[in-house]
Amino acid sequence: MENQYNYYTSDQNMNTENYSTGGNQDQGPKKKHGKGASRWAKVVCTGLVFGVVASAAFQTSNIVAGKVLGTTQTTNKTAKTTTTANSAKLTTSSNSSSGTANVTEVAKNAMPSIVSITNMSVQEVQNFFGGTQKQKSESAGSGIIVGQNDSELLIVTNNHVVEGSSTLTVTFIDEESVEADIKGTNSDKDLAVVAVPLSKIKDSTMNKIAVATLGDSDKTQVGDQVIAIGNALGYGQSVTTGIVSAKERTMDSYDGKLLQTDAAINPGNSGGALLNANGEVIGINSAKIATETVEGIGYAIPVSDVSDLITNLMNQKTKTKVAESERGYIGIKGVDVTSDSAQMYNMPTGVYVSEVISGGGAEKAGITKGAVITGIEGTTVDGMDALQEQLQYYKAGEKVKITVQTQSKNGEYEKKDVEVTLGKQSE
């Protein structure tokens, strides 16, 4: 009998309804029949668990599901900063590692590069009477210090660790905590970079932390020893060991290839580091599959596959939320194009433009009904939730680069960037 999986993601903690600028939404392309229920809705005996841990105080009248959120760990060398002019760069190594690790030394050297990340968010939950109400929720994840520019310390983590945050707090090895801002995110690769202002970090803390060195995951071989460090279950940094069980694994929930390991990747480890015997980061811990008959199969994002993306995210403009009354709007109504829909209709994932508001920024920029919005200012968006989340960083009147894909006469989608001047919600 074919295994079926129950997938758990941070979306379970978020409001998944589509948002619009008002009025009824066009439902977008009509779905073909015969595909059955979405794989995300299957309820079975096997679970895919993202390595994050969350907790929230709920009233007794609320009916809510448990939440898992993450923590990270990192590998490192003693490099303190890697900058060129104002551009941040990664510290990398091309060495291969197939020897036996001194786990104690690797862990000791890696700990200064690891941080815990606390995500405070507001979520809608169902109450006893069948309605919904907003509740504050706290989630814990991990991060890896990967660089520094003239004014910020830069930390890579999973996108689902920071998704939907109202505030983010980073805690360093000396237990000092500082608020952080999102630098850039990519939901397809489940990656994010957050920035901590150097002006807010004490000198004593700066002397205790370090920048991680990224190894070459392409040179990793099946059977190589690996070490995972992260904030397992939110209890603080912990170390587990194992081997690389397989390479180039695929999961329905991830756009790319993954490293598989038998090192324990527990809830709270999201964004943490998978290290080789040299103490270099070869993977960013993300998820595991657990069943009644399987001890647990862990997965990590290979760093060599995403190093260019991480560098890109590190050099994006830091995002600071603006007051809701000042936020800008594109001027469209949209419908999510999920990965299932994208495969079914041979179109990109993103936001299907079901209506363009007359006189709005989108219309003036030439965005038309039927286009698919796939990004904003270099950040990938996979639906209305992601688009709305990005727009909270921009004021009305600001010009932003919107990535759209439109269908050509031969049926293929062509990508282009357009500059949109954001309008006010009432416009």
What amino acid positions are annotated as catalytic residues? 160, 190, 270
What token pair was written down for 253? 């929930």
- The span from the CA of 369 to the CA of 357, in Å, is 10
Which residues does 408 contact at the CB level (< 8 Å), separation at least 6? 414
Query: Which residue is listed with tokens 């059977």?
Result: 223
Report the C-alpha gap between 347 and 353 in whole angstroms: 13
* Strand-pair partners of 327: 395
Contact 219, 96 (CB under 8 A): yes
End-to-end CA gap in the chain? 55
Residue 273: closest CA among 304, 302, 296: 302
- CB-based burial of residue 352 (10 Å sphere; 0-12 exposed, 13-18 middle, 19+ buried)? buried
Print burial letters for 379-394: b (CB count within 10 Å at least 16), e (below 16). bbbbbbbbbbbbbebb
How many C-alpha atoms does 223 have within 13 Å on its Cβ side? Answer: 2
